């Protein structure tokens, strides 16, 4: 897959949410900045975490299938010559499992077929392993982990601001790496089950620690498919994933672009500049009246330009959430007093133009 810099160099526009979530963008409109925005300003980071965890679940399934297909081909090199069963046929025709996951509306027909085949294979393999029996959620690996997990493993909603950003609950960020002791595969079949149940118990069940709001029909379908039908394939979460994507695209992403592509300050910095601007203007007027009443000479009165300049500059920066000097220097603030380089070419040009033409008047 091409690097984010490759996509950025060929994009003469603002990125889409799908491009941000697919890690095809550069700061300040990258996934890390979007996570910080969702956590600190939008206060709905649980939706983004749900998306990331479902995407990680898809990566886990793909990695499991890649390893399984590799082991099958090594064990039976002339598999195609045999009259393979349906599961072997599906396994042999899954195609490339390295494609990035995304909302179903963003996938082309070929990618949809691949994802459907992946889910079909996992469902059939699960049915074969269980002999058609229903899965009991109380005896599953994921349920045991949920029951025995210490309360400090994940902070509650009230402490989201203290939690550092993370790409997903797979903290190492490499798809397929788990604590499984399976000798045959990096990912065991039980790991996929545990991943699906962890998503269910963390985000979807009523009263869960990071519950997100979804339509009841979607919640009921997912709960039934996982707990009663024993499913753990990625297709289970498709409806919820699409709903969350549309919600972020409609409610959060426009504000993110306004904050990062049209400005370079976070709200605490804007408030600080407001206070500094009002203080500068008050100091300038007070000193001006004092100079008039005390009949100070002109060479002293000329210093009044300093507080007025500071006041106007700070108030203009607060009004447009854009510090022109820092924009020209190529810096953008992602948390209070923490700065990163502006690497997205189109955003860099846009902020430079706004800074040169008078803090927002373009």
pLDDT in tens, the chain (362 residues): 577 887 777 889 999 999 999 999 999 999 999 999 999 999 999 999 999 999 999 989 888 888 887 776 555 555 444 444 444 444 444 444 444 455 665 555 556 666 667 677 777 776 666 654 444 444 333 344 443 333 334 434 444 444 444 444 333 344 344 444 444 457 888 899 999 999 999 999 999 999 999 999 999 999 999 999 999 888 999 999 999 999 999 999 999 999 999 999 999 999 999 999 999 999 999 999 999 999 889 889 899 999 999 999 999 999 999 999 999 999 999 999 999 999 999 999 999 999 988 654 44
Look at residue 4 in the predicted model and tell me its pLDDT: 83
d(CA 55, CA 243): 14
Give Dmax (Cα) for the chain.
Answer: 104
The pLDDT value recorded for residue 154 is 41
CA 118 – CA 213 distance, rounded (Å): 28
Query: CA gyration radius for the chain?
Result: 27
Tell me the C-alpha distance between 311 and 275, whole Å: 9
Helix (H) or strand (E) holding 124: helix 109-130
Q: What is the Cα–Cα distance from 257 to 250, expressed in whole angstroms? A: 12
Backbone angles phi, psi at 263, to 5 degrees: -150, 170
- How far from the centroid of its chain's Cα atoms is residue 344's Cα? 17
Q: Can you give the pLDDT at residue 70?
A: 78
Q: Can you tell me which residue has the tokens 């854009």? A: 322
Q: By the 8 A CB rule, do 1 and 98 touch?
A: yes
DSSP states of 170-184: STT--TT--S---SS
- Tokens at residue 61, please? 């399934």
The pTM of the full predicted model, rounded to 2 decimals, is: 0.75
Angle at 145 between CA 141 and CA 148, to 5 degrees: 135
């Amino acid at each position: 897959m091409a690097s984010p810099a490759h996509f950025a160099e060929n994009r003469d526009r603002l990125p889409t949410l799908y491009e941000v979530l697919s890690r095809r963008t550069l700061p300040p409109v990258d996934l890390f900045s979007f996570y910080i925005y969702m956590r600190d300003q939008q206060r709905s980071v649980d939706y983004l975490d749900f998306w990331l965890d479902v995407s990680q679940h898809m990566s886990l399934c793909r990695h499991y299938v890649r390893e399984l297909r590799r082991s099958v081909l090594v064990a039976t090199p002339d598999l195609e010559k045999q009259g393979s069963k349906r599961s072997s046929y599906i396994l042999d025709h899954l195609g490339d499992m390295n494609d990035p996951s995304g909302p179903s509306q963003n996938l082309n027909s070929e990618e949809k077929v691949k994802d459907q085949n992946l889910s079909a294979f996992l469902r059939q393999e699960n049915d074969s392993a269980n002999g058609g029996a229903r899965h009991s959620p109380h005896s599953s690996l994921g349920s045991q982990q949920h029951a025995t997990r210490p309360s400090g493993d994940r902070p509650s909603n009230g402490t989201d601001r203290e939690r550092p950003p993370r790409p997903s609950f797979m903290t190492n960020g490499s798809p397929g790496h788990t604590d499984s002791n399976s000798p045959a595969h990096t990912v065991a079949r039980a790991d996929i089950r545990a991943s699906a149940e962890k998503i269910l118990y963390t985000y979807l069940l009523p009263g869960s620690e990071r519950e997100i709001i979804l339509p009841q029909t979607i919640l009921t379908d997912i709960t039934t498919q996982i707990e009663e039908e024993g499913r753990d394939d990625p297709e289970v979460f498709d409806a919820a994933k699409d709903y969350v994507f549309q919600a972020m695209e409609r409610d959060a992403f426009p504000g993110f672009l306004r904050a990062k592509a049209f400005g370079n300050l976070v709200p605490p910095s804007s408030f600080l500049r407001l206070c500094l601007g009002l203080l500068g203007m008050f100091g300038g007027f007070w000193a001006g009246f004092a100079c008039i009443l005390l009949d100070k000479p002109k060479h002293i009165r000329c210093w009044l330009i300093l507080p007025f300049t500071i006041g106007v500059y700070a108030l203009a920066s607060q009004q447009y959430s854009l510090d022109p000097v820092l924009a020209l220097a190529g810096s953008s603030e992602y948390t209070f007093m923490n700065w990163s380089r502006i690497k997205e070419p189109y955003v860099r040009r846009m902020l430079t133009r706004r800074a040169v033409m008078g803090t927002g008047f373009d």
